[in-house]
Structure 1
Amino acid sequence: MPRYQVPRYSPSPKHEVELPARRLYTFRTFLQDRLPYIITFYMALFFAMLVLTLDLQHGRSLPSISSLLYTALLATVIILGWIAWDYARQRLYYRQVAEMIAADKPTALSIMRVRDGATREQLAVQQLLEKQHKAFADELADYRRQREQHLHFTNQWVHHMKTPVSVIDLLLQQAAEQQDAENDNQAIRSSMQEELERIYRGLEMMLHTARLDQFRMDVRIDRVSLLPLVRETINRHKKACIRSSIFPRVEGQDVLVETDAKWLSFLLGQFITNAIKYSKDKPGSKTLRFTVSSLPDGGCSLSLTDEGIGIAEHDLPRVFDPFFTGENGRLVEESTGMGLYLAREVCSRLGHDLAIESELGVGTTITIYFYNSAVHQGLFV
């Protein structure tokens, strides 16, 4: 059976220090940047001493006024020459910085134009600007991607919610026309119940999608008894299971896991909803098996195995991507492509691993791996 596992969540360090960059700020490099100043000082000092030495060789006990003026003039020429040279080599850098500061809203082009630093300090500022711009651009691109995903999902969610609302309206009209037919009214009530459940599932997914951005504010880690939570979640979906001739079965011994009960219940609800969605059209009775197993390192796993239509092998690596529905999405109108994506995001934040196995036409198995030592790795990142 083809299998795909979500890569283990490993938070990246927030503060990366590059050793070459650290070595840039040493006393040696500080002196190297000021080497022209030192050379200029000693040149002026050398010429001053040379003039004084010549005066002493002519038998004078003190230097003459003309010698002192000549020394001062020579030192001034050297300093002015040095200043002119230093300004010439740094002029382009200062001009680029001035243009960037003068701009009301510095663009990426203006920031990237600051590229002609002459000293190591100026080169370091260039690197800082480039890294800051890259970090800002990455953050902005990530924000835009999330906004596009959210907008796409909102539009898709509204579209899916319009269908059950329209169906309920049609059923109410039929009920008004057939008030004396008890059997017809019973069927209408059953259909209305099914549509209301679809609305509830859609609202729940929308709510949890909105909460995912503020996950840290809406999580509480406890030691949760696994089997009672599984049975409670099954009971919330028992009517839908009965309508689709799906019979849940729970196997294994109860264990305690470190997780958030509310978010784990949401995950199980998504998996049960998917099992119902992709199994209800198969004839006959189907089994939805929940299996709790121990792991060699002390953790445990919870597997959900359905007998639905399965997933094509080439679709497995993409089933956790947002809005991806694959071949099944063309067969089942309710597919949004967000359920497994949300499951992956929640599992990564809770420190759980998630894997999926499927065989086309046979069924699908989704497994959550609980590692109590890793539950906090992804929570506060």
Structure 2
Amino acid sequence: MKGLTLAVFLRDRLLYIVVCMLIIFLSVLMLLLERERYPKLIELNTVFYFVVLALFFVALWLVLDYLRLRPYYKQLLIAIERSDGLFTSAILHEAVTREQKLAARLLEEQHRAYLDELGKYRRQQELHNHFALQWVHHMKTPVSVIDLLSQEALRQTAHTEEEQRHFAASVQEEAERITNGLEMMLYSARIDKFEFDLRIERTALHELARGVLNAHKRLCIRHSIFPRLEGEAWVETDPKWMTFVLNQFVSNAIKYSKNKPGSKSLLLRIMPQANNGTLLSVQDEGIGIPSHDIPRIYDPFFTGENGRTTGESTGMGLYLTKQVCGRLGHALSVLSEAGKGTTFTVSFSPQGIHRLAQKHE
């Protein structure tokens, strides 16, 4: 691509040159008309000098303007040839006119916005890649356990009925861990295209919660956890995404309660809130969350003290839960005391749904 040659510069300013020539022509015409009226007042040499002087100043203006703008266009040409967007500051530095400075400023703002979006995209890719590697690592455990159980079953020719039930329950639990891991991976992939998989409708929150508890009923019985549902309400939400959120709360409650001795309760309470809102709380009697971990529980890949102790946490469940609730317009809060249990609360409000609608308009 050619740079700003003198010929290109003059062609771009052809209109200005024509206007200048027209003004000089009209000025000479007026001088000649005055000379016809007053022959002794204006001589031909004066008219000639005027034309030469006018052309000189026009040419001088063009040359100076060309020299003044040439560095700016040179930087533009370098930036276009490099095509890496790293010469915005140089373009801004070489800008001369106010229009050029505004255009350069616009380029700088667009470049900054581009880098921000690129940074977000790279961050998302890093999260997905890290989660995929971590997920594969965690899925190796249940697969290995199933393999060991199968080998043990093949070695023993006879089993008591109790041993058979224990074997079947163990295999089923490991299979459920794989299923939950696959579901987590699926929802993690969908979260970036949340708006394409969104369907807000009036939903019976108590039916949704009851279905989630029924899905975890076997694990609750096995680990002496007694679930209970209180209250009823209809809310505006996406049933599929809210089922995912409740599954995370209930599975975490079981995960961090099962090793605690004795019987434990798991309470899902639905309560009315001011301004036609609704609160849904999930309260367990598990090991609780240490106070120093609470500010970071929604960070991606943060497993915390409990996650490192149990070895079953990927650090993505609560992160995705926070993302889903935020995008649905539902507020999420947590209260926990180490050794006594944890309560997660989701707040459903009509205003949250309106904010969600405005976000996607």
TM-score, scaled to structure 2: 0.88
The reply on whether 1:111 has 2:112 as its aligned counterpart is: no
The reply on whether 1:85 has 2:64 as its aligned counterpart is: yes
The CA deviation at 1:335 is 0.8
Contact 1:178 1:184 in 2 (8 A): no
The reply on whether 1:256 has 2:245 as its aligned counterpart is: no
Q: Could you tell me how far apart the structure 2 residues matched to 1:68 and 1:179 are?
A: 123
SS at match of 1:322: coil
The CA deviation at 1:108 is 3.9
Contact 1:179 1:185 in 2 (8 A): no
The CA deviation at 1:265 is 0.7
The reply on whether 1:289 has 2:283 as its aligned counterpart is: no
Q: Which runs of 5+ in 1 are unaligned?
A: 1-36
Match of 1:200?
179
The CA deviation at 1:71 is 2.0
SS at match of 1:375: helix
Deviates more, 1:259-268 or 1:92-101: 92-101
Match of 2:6?
none
Match of 2:221?
242
- CA deviations on 1:253-300 (whole Å, 9 max, x unpaired) are x11100011111111000011001111111000001111111111101
Q: Which runs of 5+ in 2 are unaligned?
A: 1-15
Contact 2:79 2:85 in 1 (8 A): no
Q: Could you tell me how far apart the structure 2 residues matched to 1:167 and 1:269 are?
A: 24
Contact 1:52 1:67 in 2 (8 A): no
- Equivalent positions of 1:261-280 (< 5 A) are 261-280=239-258
Q: Which amino acid aligns with 2:329?
A: G
Match of 1:211?
190
SS at match of 2:243: helix
Match of 1:23?
none
Q: Could you tell me how far apart the structure 2 residues matched to 1:259 and 1:227 are?
A: 13
Q: Could you tell me how far apart the structure 2 residues matched to 1:255 and 1:225 are?
A: 6
- CA deviations on 1:297-343 (whole Å, 9 max, x unpaired) are 11010000111111111211111110111111221100111111001
Match of 2:75?
96
The reply on whether 1:232 has 2:211 as its aligned counterpart is: yes
2:39 to 55, 60, 72: 60
Match of 2:332?
354
Computed over aligned residues only, the root mean square deviation of the Cα atoms, in angstroms, reads 2.7
- CA deviations on 1:318-371 (whole Å, 9 max, x unpaired) are 111101111112211001111110011111111100001111111100000001
2:348 to 363, 367, 370: 370
- CA deviations on 1:212-234 (whole Å, 9 max, x unpaired) are 11111111111001111111110
Q: Could you tell me how far apart the structure 2 residues matched to 1:255 and 1:238 are?
A: 22
- CA deviations on 1:114-157 (whole Å, 9 max, x unpaired) are 12211111011111110111111011100000000000000011
Contact 1:178 1:185 in 2 (8 A): no
Highest RCO, 1 vs 2 (Cα 8 Å, sep ≥ 6): 1
Q: Could you tell me how far apart the structure 1 residues matched to 2:354 and 2:134 are?
A: 33
Q: Could you tell me how far apart the structure 2 residues matched to 1:179 and 1:143 are?
A: 55
Contact 1:323 1:336 in 2 (8 A): yes
Q: Could you tell me how far apart the structure 2 residues matched to 1:353 and 1:102 are?
A: 49
Contact 2:35 2:43 in 1 (8 A): no
Q: Could you tell me how far apart the structure 1 residues matched to 2:317 and 2:259 are?
A: 20
The CA deviation at 1:377 is 2.1
Match of 1:325?
303
More helix per residue: 1 or 2?
Answer: 2
SS at match of 2:257: coil
Q: Could you tell me how far apart the structure 2 residues matched to 1:304 and 1:98 are?
A: 62
Q: Which amino acid aligns with 1:158?
A: V
The CA deviation at 1:67 is 3.5
Q: Percent identity?
A: 49
Q: Could you tell me how far apart the structure 1 residues matched to 2:166 and 2:293 are?
A: 37
TM-score, scaled to structure 1: 0.83
Q: Could you tell me how far apart the structure 2 residues matched to 1:164 and 1:325 are?
A: 19
Q: Could you tell me how far apart the structure 2 residues matched to 1:101 and 1:324 are?
A: 43
Match of 2:200?
221
Match of 1:191?
170
Contact 2:79 2:86 in 1 (8 A): no
Q: Which amino acid aligns with 1:251?
A: E
The CA deviation at 1:89 is 2.2
